[in-house]
Amino acid sequence: MAIYCHTVKQHIANGFFYDGLAMKSREILAKNLRLLMQNSAKYKNRPSLAAAAGLSARTIGYMRQKTGGNPTLKNIEAVAEIFDLEVWELLIDHAQAKKRLLSKIFDVSAPDPVETDVIGQSHRGKYQ
């Protein structure tokens, strides 16, 4: 039993069971972070964002890569706070969320949203 548990733990740690979900989350985080940094006047590069968030530039670099590292909730919280966002806002695909939300509200298919209306602008509490 102990050998089996160890094997299962290793597969989970390696992303075997959660690979699809974990990879998608990392891709979304990376995309959102890149967009935020591109549209930010103060935090266009890793060192400036890292210093403000109290993280290393390497950690920010890993968060910007869809396959790099495994960011902790604490690190994601630090970055979200810098951009005045909630953690969940960094971890969702805003374009897809908007499309799903509209389709549920109006029970119709929503048009494909434009990616540029998602992040980089103040969108807290409003999905227009």
Classify residue 2: in a domain, yes or no. no
**pLDDT value of residue 96:** 77
- Highest mean pLDDT among 62-66, 102-106, 115-119 belongs to 62-66
Indicate the pLDDT class of residue 94, thresholds 50, 70 and 90.
Answer: confident
Indicate the pLDDT class of residue 55, thresholds 50, 70 and 90.
Answer: very high
- Domain enclosing residue 108, as ranges: 19-117
Domain count, the chain: 1
What CA dihedral angle connects 97, 65, 77 and 71, to 10 degrees? 120
CATH code for position 47? 1.10.260.40
Classify residue 27: in a domain, yes or no. yes
Classify residue 110: in a domain, yes or no. yes
Classify residue 107: in a domain, yes or no. yes
Classify residue 40: in a domain, yes or no. yes
Classify residue 3: in a domain, yes or no. no
C-beta separation of 47 from 81 below 8 A = no
The model carries a pTM of 0.63
C-beta separation of 75 from 55 below 8 A = yes
Classify residue 14: in a domain, yes or no. no
